[in-house]
Chains A and B, each alone.
Chain A
Amino acid sequence: MTADRPTITSRWSRLLAALALVLLPAIFVAPPATASIDETPCEPDKETACIAVLVLNADNDRISDVVVTVAGGDFSAELTTPADGPATVAAPTVGRYTVTIDPATLPADQLLPQGAETELTVTAQSGGTARAAFRVGPGVEAPSTPTAGSGTTGDTPADGTTVEDGEGVGAAPEGDASKRALTFAQVWQQMGSGLRFGLLLALASIGLNLVFGTTGLSNFAHGEQFALGAAVGFITINQMGMSIWVGGLLTLAICAFTGLAQDSAIWRPLRKRNVPVMQLMIVSIGLSITLQYVIQLMIGGGSERILSRNPQPLKLAGITLSTASWLSMVVALVCVLGIAWFLTRTRIGRATRAVSDNPALASATGIDPDKIIRIVWVMATGFAALAGLMWGVSFGSFNWQLGVQLLLLMFAAVTLGGLGTALGAFVGSLLIGQVVELSNLFIPSDLRYASALVILILVLLFRPQGILGRRERIG
């Protein structure tokens, strides 16, 4: 597996180095990074959450010298709106904050309309600015609807900065890198993020590939198993307040049990009835829709976070990621190596590979395929949940759509690596991770997942069996 990794990475870095040279002049004209001191406006980066408060009149003009209070938990700050921008403050932790306006400090001709709220609630998220805008003065609709914007670009008042949209997986804490000049450090940083993405994707997609290998089923509900890990983790760790280890283990146990239950309630009876694989695939689509809405019932429609405190940055080898991310990467790598050891060195692992090669022959040699497939389902759902949980922890926020978006990337990864081979899933995932994070440097970040899917289609065009797959599998 390590054989073709370095060559491809070096090809990438050569390409990037060339691009860096082309873009070199741009670096010199790039403005110097602004240091973030308390007096200067809060600049959101991937570790900082900002809250901005605006007081506007009917003509969208800013009103200065209004006192507002931002409070949440045991944090409280009193701010005065400056003339040239919103009053900002860095939130100590992510989460909900209440912004209160002091109507007594408003200018006499710009009073709060009758019946308007003096309090707004915003949700601070790292990497973004949560905005609260009060509308005052004559000409504002009587029971004015003060807008509390958080993660929504729609209601941002006319102002240069926009808020990072909460849509999409993980909400890209790095922001839209394509707008910045390209330096080697950024490429290196993106490659680090790509490794994180790839390792978590690998952990999730190995299960998808094992299920495909042993049963022939392209399981469309696998993405939801991934999202279920994040969702159950959110409930146990964030809402029920368990420690991350207890909550994490409980999450794993619950999700692995869903695999066991699924196999005995749905997949095993269907196998016994010799239901064709295509029919099973559509059953898995039905299951995916069902689980998607179950997850929505569990966590609601918005973005949620598993850990509510701000992540601690940790710089290793020139790459800054949160400590939780580094830990997740280590756990994912250990698990992937563990699965590799399991498949090649243990009796059950070898039996798994035998079933995936030829179920009839395997059962003739005394292996019980049903038992093996049960183990595979438990492993697949368990590791998918672990990956989802760690995804939620290291990428910050997630929403109920996480599953299907990741599912397509997992399909891209296993197709690229080779459908049905465990090693292929690993190699393919690492590559897809790099593609997604590096393409962030060149194309708008809302299109970065599209790049991985374009690769999927190209692979099918030129090498449908994938990098490590065998020709006969594609039929």
Chain B
Amino acid sequence: MEEFLRILTQSAGEILAPTTAAYAMAAIGLNLHFGYTGLLNMGQAGFMLLGAYGFGITLTTGGSFWLALLVAIAAGVLFAIILGMPTLQLRGDYLAIVTISAAEIVRWFGRSTLWQQWTGGASGLQGRFYKEPFQELSFLPDGRFALGPFEYINTGSDSWWTRIVAWGLVALVVLFVWLITRSPWGRVLKGIREDEDAVRALGKNVYAYKLQALVLGGAIGALGGVIFALPAAIVPDSMGRTMTFFVWTILLLGGAATVFGPVLGSMIFFAAYMFMRTGMRALAENTGVGDFITTTNVEQIGGMLVGVTLMLLVIFRPQGIFGNKKELAFNVR
């Protein structure tokens, strides 16, 4: 029982973890792409990695925190423009193939020895090189603070300060997305998702709107990368395809084309993912299940279940938990 409580607490702790906020942010960006505009971006991790690099490298070379944030967003914007220009006039799956390839190119360049002095190569940028300016901004007193069973230090890597900033940014972006998707601009995006030709017939420049959506979602994705880097290090191999696919699972779990879907999806996903893994590990260690599932297999079985969840979601409930089936982008091209 005590063990079960520990697992529950650990899973609940994931709900407010900075990583959950980072994925929520990336999923909000992807929601602008896929949920509202119908663009199949399969390279959200590339945007995140570029954002993280922009942030980390600016700070390690002596830039200020705010400059670093701007550089991160600029990196996402630039990447979106480069990717969007050639592909947005083609059919949807071309964008998917190009974005997944481009994200891989970014990762390969990041882990290559070519720019090792900037990116740190395959072992990445250690957090201690760039975290200080961020933690200096903290107005929290020194020490620790406990809220129920959740106790973290006030300022540090896995701290209340990181959580406050991460979720504060997520709240701001949620508000922003809520406002713009209710605006005339957002209605054009939804129009493109439903029927591109009809929108074109109304005299709108569909290509420009798609590019704007890609840029905006990409910049939000880059911010997600910054949040991801805040409590950890910037390691290219941990920000690859798996990350993109997790972001997709989160978006489809919460519900595409909803304002809170990505955020709630991320919370549910990570709580369930942690519950499943710690639960399996506890079972493997303490019961006869260990004969079939060793603790090293837990990660792999967890990953398999994510894949199966994604398949089942798309087949049986493509609108996710909170979504509306009418607002779904799958039917276009």
Cβ of B122 within 8 Å of any chain A Cβ, yes or no, is: yes
Which segment of B86-94, B216-224, B265-273 sits at the interface? B86-94
A457 close to B318 (CB less than 8 A): no
A408 close to B104 (CB less than 8 A): yes
B331 close to A276 (CB less than 8 A): yes
Chain B residues touching A, range: 35 or more
Cβ of B209 within 8 Å of any chain A Cβ, yes or no, is: no
A453 close to B104 (CB less than 8 A): yes
Kindly supply a per-residue 1/0 record for chain A positions 270-289, scoring 1 wherever the CB is within 8 Å of any chain B CB and 0 otherwise.
10000111110111011111
Cβ of A404 within 8 Å of any chain B Cβ, yes or no, is: yes
Which segment of B111-119, B141-149, B160-168, B173-181 sits at the interface? B111-119
Q: Which of B109, B301, B314, B332 contacts A450 (CB 8 A)?
A: B109
Q: Which of B39-71 contact A (CB under 8 A)?
A: 40, 42
A404 close to B241 (CB less than 8 A): yes
Kindly supply a per-residue 1/0 record for chain A positions 431-475, scoring 1 wherever the CB is within 8 Å of any chain B CB and 0 otherwise.
000000000000110110110011011001100100000000011
B101 close to A456 (CB less than 8 A): yes
Chain A nearest CB: distance from B31 CB in Å?
A: 15
Q: Which of A154, A277, A293, A444 contacts B113 (CB 8 A)?
A: A444
If A279-B318, A411-B101, A460-B86 touch, whether A446 touches B113 (CB-CB below 8 Å) is yes
If A293-B307, A444-B113, A464-B94 touch, whether A282 touches B105 (CB-CB below 8 Å) is no
Kindly supply a per-residue 1/0 record for chain A positions 287-306, scoring 1 wherever the CB is within 8 Å of any chain B CB and 0 otherwise.
11111111011000000000
Cβ of B310 within 8 Å of any chain A Cβ, yes or no, is: yes
Describe A's contact surface by its main secondary structure: helix
Q: How many A-B residue pairs have CB under 8 A?
A: 131
A460 close to B98 (CB less than 8 A): yes
For B24, list chain A residues within 8 Å (CB): none
Q: Which of B84-141 contact A (CB under 8 A)?
A: 85-87, 90-94, 96-98, 100-102, 104-105, 108-109, 111-114, 122-123
If A444-B114, A475-B90 touch, whether A293 touches B301 (CB-CB below 8 Å) is yes
Chain B nearest CB: distance from A349 CB in Å?
A: 26
Q: With A and B bound together, what is the CA distance between A412 and B101 in angstroms?
A: 9
Chain B nearest CB: distance from A186 CB in Å?
A: 21
Cβ of B315 within 8 Å of any chain A Cβ, yes or no, is: yes
For B310, list chain A residues within 8 Å (CB): 282-283, 285-286, 289
Cβ of A415 within 8 Å of any chain B Cβ, yes or no, is: yes
A447 close to B98 (CB less than 8 A): no
If A454-B105, A457-B98 touch, whether A283 touches B315 (CB-CB below 8 Å) is yes
Q: Which of A290, A450, A460 contacts B90 (CB 8 A)?
A: A460
Chain B nearest CB: distance from A288 CB in Å?
A: 7
Kindly supply a per-residue 1/0 record for chain A positions 118-161, scoring 1 wherever the CB is within 8 Å of any chain B CB and 0 otherwise.
00000000000000000000000000000000000010000000
Q: With A and B bound together, what is the CA distance between A474 and B331 in angstroms?
A: 17
B93 close to A278 (CB less than 8 A): yes
For B98, list chain A residues within 8 Å (CB): 456-457, 460
For A411, list chain B residues within 8 Å (CB): 97, 101
Cβ of A394 within 8 Å of any chain B Cβ, yes or no, is: no
Cβ of A218 within 8 Å of any chain B Cβ, yes or no, is: yes
For A270, list chain B residues within 8 Å (CB): 315
Chain B nearest CB: distance from A101 CB in Å?
A: 29
Q: With A and B bound together, what is the CA distance between A449 and B113 in angstroms?
A: 15
A-B contact pairs, 14 of them (CB 8 A): A154-B123, A218-B96, A266-B311, A278-B93, A278-B330, A283-B311, A286-B307, A286-B308, A286-B309, A290-B311, A293-B304, A296-B300, A297-B304, A415-B97
Residues of B whose CB lies within 8 Å of any CB of A are 40, 42, 85-87, 90-94, 96-98, 100-102, 104-105, 108-109, 111-114, 122-123, 241-242, 245, 248, 252, 297, 300-301, 303-304, 306-315, 318, 329-333
Known: A294-B304, A464-B90. 15 other contacts (CB 8 A): A154-B123, A218-B93, A276-B331, A278-B329, A278-B333, A279-B314, A279-B330, A293-B300, A293-B301, A293-B307, A408-B100, A453-B101, A453-B105, A457-B102, A475-B90
